[in-house]
Amino acid sequence: MKCIIVDDEPFAIDLLRSYVEKTDSLELAGCFSNPVKAHSFLINNRVDLIFLDINMPELTGIQLIKSLTHSPLIIFTTAYAQYGAESYEYNAADYLLKPIRYDRFLKAVNRASETLSKVSEPASVSKSLALNHNKSAVTSAADERVISIKSGSKVHRVGLSSILYIEASGNYMIFHTGQEKILSLMTMKEAIGLLPKEQFVRIHKSYIISIAAIEVVERTHVSVKGAKIPVGTVYREQLLERL
């Protein structure tokens, strides 16, 4: 993962740099003691992850994130515990309190990596899903509708009939289609608003599913092209009514 460090304390930068350098999964793209310069860098360069202090002069870490059209994943690094709750509204993979131990740093990095890896599974798996889905899909005028899904600097144009289900992951929604997985920074409410109610139904606090894609319905889950998706107790009756 390509990352940057933003912190106004030189000691904190040196410590995080040493942690990044001995972590194989990370590639350091820059260190910034001035958040304004970090902002300029982020506008012109794409990174996967920011190690970000919150309490800084000129621009706080949260103000920096609010100023970006698209924010990478963030691991907040701060000496102030009171910012914890607010930080998770801003694409935070984790929240590290100073002084930061390497084992805790590594746990945060692994969390960020897991989030990103959900959209990078081998293409052969997705292609297999696509073939199976196309064989059983019933086309109609509604199936041909297309929605736009913003993912980083890209906007994907996706046919509704290709979406199998949508999964919440932290501050992201992952759109599972017959060809790929698209990670988008949005809330569950925003995802529901994109989808027509006649074709999709929420079945769990973390899942929305295409009704046409359901193959098997059991008490605690449904099956979609080999994937078992949990059904929440409060959503079961609504699912059965729709079916």
Sheet holding 207-210, edge to edge: 181-185, 172-177, 163-169, 207-210, 200-204
Band of pLDDT at residue 36, cut at 50, 70 and 90: very high
Residue 183, CA distances (Å) to 26, 118, 126, 174 in order: 20, 8, 15, 5
Per DSSP bridges, beta strands 27-32 and 2-6 are: parallel
Band of pLDDT at residue 131, cut at 50, 70 and 90: very low
Residue 132 pLDDT > 70: no
Instruction: Bin 2: left if φ > 0, else alpha if -120 < ψ < 50, else beta.
Output: beta
Stretch 89-95: mean pLDDT, rounded? 72
Q: Which helix (H) or strand (E) holds 12?
A: helix 10-21
Its sign, for the CA torsion 183, 35, 32, 110, is: negative
Q: How far apart are CA 228 and CA 234, in angstroms?
A: 18
Residue 189 pLDDT > 80: yes
Please report the pLDDT score of residue 135 as a whole number. Answer: 37
Contact 203, 228 (CB under 8 A): no
Share of the chain above pLDDT 90, in %: 40
Q: How far apart are CA 31 and CA 17, in angstroms?
A: 8
- Min mean pLDDT across 82-86, 126-130, 148-152, 225-229 is at 126-130
Here the tokens at position 154 are: 């890209």
Band of pLDDT at residue 80, cut at 50, 70 and 90: confident
Band of pLDDT at residue 58, cut at 50, 70 and 90: confident
Please report the pLDDT score of residue 143 as a whole number. Answer: 40
Here the tokens at position 183 are: 């990670």
Band of pLDDT at residue 136, cut at 50, 70 and 90: very low
Q: How far apart are CA 74 and CA 53, in angstroms?
A: 10
- Residue identified by tokens 């906007």 is 155
Residue 215 pLDDT > 50: yes
178-182, long-range: CB < 8 A, 24+ apart: 178/126, 178/129, 178/130, 178/131, 178/133, 178/134, 179/126, 179/127, 179/129, 179/130, 180/119, 180/123, 180/126, 181/118, 181/119, 181/120, 181/121, 181/126, 182/119, 182/149, 182/151, 182/156, 182/158
Instruction: Compute the half-sphere exposure of residue 79: CA atoms within 13 Å on the CB side of its CA.
Output: 7
pLDDT, tens digit, 9 for 90 and up, residues 139-155: 333 445 788 888 877 88
The domains found in the chain, sorted by start residue, are 2-117 (3.40.50.2300), 123-242 (2.40.50.1020)
Q: Which helix (H) or strand (E) holds 158?
A: strand 154-159
Please report the pLDDT score of residue 126 as a whole number. Answer: 39
Please report the pLDDT score of residue 202 as a whole number. Answer: 93
Please report the pLDDT score of residue 226 as a whole number. Answer: 81
